[in-house]
Chains A and B, each alone.
Chain A
Amino acid sequence: MRDVWEATETVVKKKCIPISVVWELTRRCNLNCIHCYNVKDSASLSLDKIKKVAYSLREAGTLFLTLTGGEIFVRRDIVDILCFLKQLGFDIKIITNATLINKFLIKELKNIFPSEIGVSLYGVSSYIHDRITQVKGSFNKTVQAIKSLKSEGLNVHIKCTLMRDNFKEYKRIIQFARQLGVYYIIDPIISPKDDGSKEVFSHRLTEEQLKEFYWEEFEKIEEFSTTQPCDAGFNFGAISADGYIYPCIQFPLKVGDATRDNFKDVWSNSYVLNRLREAVKAGKTDCKRCNLYSYCSRCMGLSFLETGSPFSSYSTACIIARIYKEFIDSHGKK
């Protein structure tokens, strides 16, 4: 089975079939998280347009569809959207703050059965979490929803963005997730906002905090692999709330308009996308002469947002590469 999947995965990569797509269904949100990359506006596609785009994705070969926002459950038609996408055959993953999840939605979710429901949680107390979401009572609602989703047998996991404001909480969050029996993802990366503004950087971990976090993470890894190029723009794509097609939701390089153009046509024929792929295949980067190059795990989207070029060096990657090198030098693991 593994061989068959690997062969299929090879075809997907070689032929640039967009098997995974992240779809931002709205930029509206009922929370106001201090670190959020979204620029809140009313952009969202109608149900009819969503259906049209969904058919187009299906034709292009998409299987895994991650629905995000904003907060997707602020949409009144969200159940209709989810049911339609499931009926078309997509594997659905959801990213949510879960504060709007109620008994009715849980019943619907049990029928739709998303393969993953990732719930944002920033602390194990309302003091920390509600300060980050800037909405009082959000902690209690989110935790209650996580417990309800779990008890109904749904595949829920905790997603925690780590920042200065909750750094001391992260081990407690891991413990909390283990107690609940749910998987967790801790991410210490704060992205620039979608409009490129960097005011959210004030919440980024200090280099010392990043080092503390990553050294603990590196300790858990038995064998390090060399950095692989990211799949963005190859077999991974994104659609923004206003319907633009991007290589990744964190890489807002407009390559087409899914409401106007056929997704498959854009994915195959976009001049911008094909130029990007050629550059990635050729190993294009401004960092080749850097002594941290072999330790660096760069993200084209973050580079694009921070510098305007997907191939430039950017601050977070440099810091993490430095931390990684220090770890390797002191542990001799690579």
Chain B
Amino acid sequence: MDLSKVRISLSPKVSWQRIEDKIIVVNPEERKMHILAESGTSIWECLTTPKSIDEVVALISKEYEVDVSCARRDIQDFIVILKDKNLVIFK
């Protein structure tokens, strides 16, 4: 999936809360609950305002002090999973 031309943001339908080092996400439409951990929480909180994939990668790679090209593939895969679960939207 090519994410280079989209703005990514949290789906307005989901609810969420940080509990210690985890983020609980509820999708009321599908009656499902998801729990994010580790770098997933950083990516989620980064998406509370819409961003491009480049912006997300820049922020996360800086936070975790990892190489941008290494981080890009993992972040992109994670965001695609979030999209498949209807937790984020692309515009």
Q: Are both chains from one complex? A: yes
- Describe B's contact surface by its main secondary structure: strand
Is there contact, CB below 8 Å, between A115 and B19?
A: no
- A36-67 vs B, Cβ < 8 Å mask (1 yes, 0 no): 00000000000000000000001001110000
Residues of A within 8 A of B16 (CB): 63, 89
Count residues of B near A (Cβ-Cβ below 8 Å). 18
Q: Which listed residue (B20, B28, B35) contacts A115, Cβ 8 A?
A: B28
A5 within 8 A of B: yes
Complex formed: what's the CA distance from A63 to B12 in Å? 15
Chain A, range 1-43, C-beta contacts under 8 Å to B: 1, 4-5, 8, 11-12, 15, 17, 19
A17: B residues at CB distance < 8 A: 19
A263 within 8 A of B: no
CB within 8 Å of B: which A110-142 residues: 111, 113-115
Answer yes or no: A311 CB below 8 A from chain B CBs: no
Query: Which listed residue (A11, A89, A111, A153) contacts B19, Cβ 8 A?
Result: A11
Is the C-beta of A165 less than 8 angstroms from some C-beta in chain B?
A: no
Among B13-64, those with CB < 8 Å from A are 13, 15-20, 22, 24, 26, 28-29, 31, 33-35, 37
Contact A155 B28 (CB under 8 A): yes
Would you call A91 and B19 a contact (CB within 8 A)? no
Q: Give the docked Cα–Cα distance between A12 and B24 (Å).
A: 12
- Cβ proximity bits A66-93 to B, threshold 8 Å, 1 near / 0 not: 0000000000000000000011011110
| Nearest residue, chain A, Cβ from B32 | A1
Given A91-B28, A115-B26, A12 contacting B19 (CB threshold 8 A): yes
**Chain B residues whose C-beta falls within 8 Å of the C-beta of A58 in the assembled complex:** 17
The answer to whether A4 and B37 touch across the interface, beta carbons within 8 angstroms, is: yes
B19 and A8 contacting across the interface, CB-CB below 8 Å: yes
CB of A61 within 8 A of CB of B17, answer yes
- When C-beta atoms are compared, the residue in chain B nearest to A63 turns out to be B17
Q: Is the CB of A89 within 8 A of B17?
A: yes
A residues within 8 A CB of B22? 4, 8
Q: Which residues of A contact B18 (CB under 8 A)?
A: 61
A4 in contact with B35 given A113-B28, A113-B29 (CB within 8 Å) = yes
Is B24 in contact with A8, judged by CB distance below 8 angstroms? yes
Nearest residue, chain A, Cβ from B29 = A113
Do B26 and A61 have beta carbons less than 8 Å apart? no
The 3 A-B residue pairs with the shortest CB-CB distance, nearest first, are A91-B15, A115-B28, A63-B17
Q: Can you spell out 26 A-B residue pairs with CB atoms less than 8 angstroms apart? A: A4-B37, A8-B19, A8-B20, A11-B19, A12-B19, A15-B20, A17-B19, A19-B17, A19-B19, A61-B17, A61-B18, A63-B17, A63-B24, A86-B12, A89-B16, A89-B17, A90-B15, A90-B17, A91-B15, A91-B26, A92-B15, A113-B28, A115-B15, A115-B26, A115-B28, A155-B31
Taking Cβ atoms with an 8 Å cutoff, the residues of A that contact B are 1, 4-5, 8, 11-12, 15, 17, 19, 58, 61-63, 86-87, 89-92, 111, 113-115, 153, 155
